[in-house]
């Protein structure tokens, strides 16, 4: 028996009764409902992705505005943009050093002075705490060192002069005088360097155990404070004399039998 529809729209949405007398949804109605459900789901996904993108953009903006804490440990032998930034900061506080991105002996000495003046661990290595004290790391506030009297007295990076300075006291190896004195070696090393290597930084002993200007024995390696870890490092004049100064401070002239 066919159903009598009171509303033409009802026939469209509900459809005819099946053979059992149950009402069924018209196929077109089901399709429209499915499309509406898909559109609603699509809208929800778009809204969620939009909120996520906005949150990510906001986080990126905050990240860009706040300097990031550097975990890099810079020491003798390091180089790069961060080293140059450290040198620039130290130079702005009155220290005399080259802003060249090379972490050499003078940079190490200046960093050591800064650490001592600001109550930090004195090791000549620029880590997160030293960076923070210079205002380079996040949350860091640069402060003037407690003692400023020595700031302008820090020597420039050691270099081998073409000839001996007028006031030089070294007569055998005058080209290495400034570097040796930078590391605190006495005038006696003018004789030692001449005797050991004839002032030549590339010399190796006949037995192959000792290298460089002061003929440093390999048993004295490594010396992290001088960035000297292998025998080849001892052919670098600055590293060789730096290691010699460490040995001299510990044992005096005895390693050179004087």
Q: Given a cut of 50, is residue 139 above it in pLDDT?
A: no
Q: Given a cut of 70, is residue 67 above it in pLDDT?
A: no
Q: How does the average pLDDT of the chain come out, rounded?
A: 75
251: domain range? 174-256
Q: Is position 169 within any domain?
A: no
Interatomic CA distance for residues 121 and 49, integer angstroms? 48
Q: Is 114 found in the same domain as 88?
A: yes
User: What CATH number did the domain enclosing 189 receive?
Assistant: 1.10.530.10
Q: How many domains does the chain divide into?
A: 3
Interatomic CA distance for residues 56 and 58, integer angstroms? 5
Q: Is 183 found in the same domain as 246?
A: yes
Q: Is 131 found in the same domain as 102?
A: yes
Q: Given a cut of 70, is residue 66 above it in pLDDT?
A: no
pTM over 0.75: no
Between strands 216-217 and 210-211, the pairing is antiparallel
Mean pLDDT computed over 211-219? 93
Res 242: pLDDT: 92
> Is residue 159 very low, low, confident or very high in pLDDT (cuts 50, 70, 90)?
very low
Interatomic CA distance for residues 248 and 255, integer angstroms? 8
Res 216: pLDDT: 94
> Is residue 1 very low, low, confident or very high in pLDDT (cuts 50, 70, 90)?
very low
Q: Is position 70 within any domain?
A: no
Lowest mean pLDDT among 28-37, 84-93, 202-211, 242-251: 28-37
Q: Is 182 found in the same domain as 110?
A: no
User: What CATH number did the domain enclosing 88 receive?
Assistant: 1.10.101.10
Res 165: pLDDT: 44
pLDDT in tens, 183-198: 899 999 999 999 999 9
Res 45: pLDDT: 74
Mean pLDDT computed over 200-209? 90
DSSP 159: -
């Amino acid at each position: 028996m066919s159903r009598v529809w009171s509303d033409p729209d009802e026939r469209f949405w509900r459809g005819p009764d099946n053979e059992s007398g149950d009402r069924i949804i018209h196929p077109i109605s089901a399709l429209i409902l499915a499309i509406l459900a898909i559109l609603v789901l699509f809208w929800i996904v778009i809204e969620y992705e939009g909120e996520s993108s906005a949150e990510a953009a906001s986080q990126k903006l905050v990240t860009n505005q706040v300097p990031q804490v550097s975990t890099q440990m810079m020491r003798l032998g390091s180089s790069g943009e961060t080293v140059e930034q450290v040198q620039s900061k130290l130079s702005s506080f009155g220290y005399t050093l080259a802003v060249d991105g090379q972490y050499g002996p003078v940079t190490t000495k200046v960093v050591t002075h800064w650490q001592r003046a600001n109550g930090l661990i004195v090791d000549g290595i620029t880590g997160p705490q030293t960076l923070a004290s210079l205002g380079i790391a996040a949350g860091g506030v640069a402060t003037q060192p407690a003692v400023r009297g020595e700031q302008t007295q820090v020597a420039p990076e050691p270099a081998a002069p073409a000839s001996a300075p007028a006031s030089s006291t070294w007569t055998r190896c005058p080209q290495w005088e400034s570097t040796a004195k930078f590391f605190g070696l006495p005038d006696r090393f003018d004789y030692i360097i001449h005797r050991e290597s004839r002032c030549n930084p590339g010399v190796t002993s006949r037995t192959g155990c000792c290298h460089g200007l002061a003929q440093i024995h390999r048993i004295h390696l490594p010396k992290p404070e001088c960035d000297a870890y292998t025998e080849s490092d001892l052919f670098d004049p600055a590293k060789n004399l730096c290691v010699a100064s460490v040995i001299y401070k510990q044992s005096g002239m005895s390693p050179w039998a004087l």
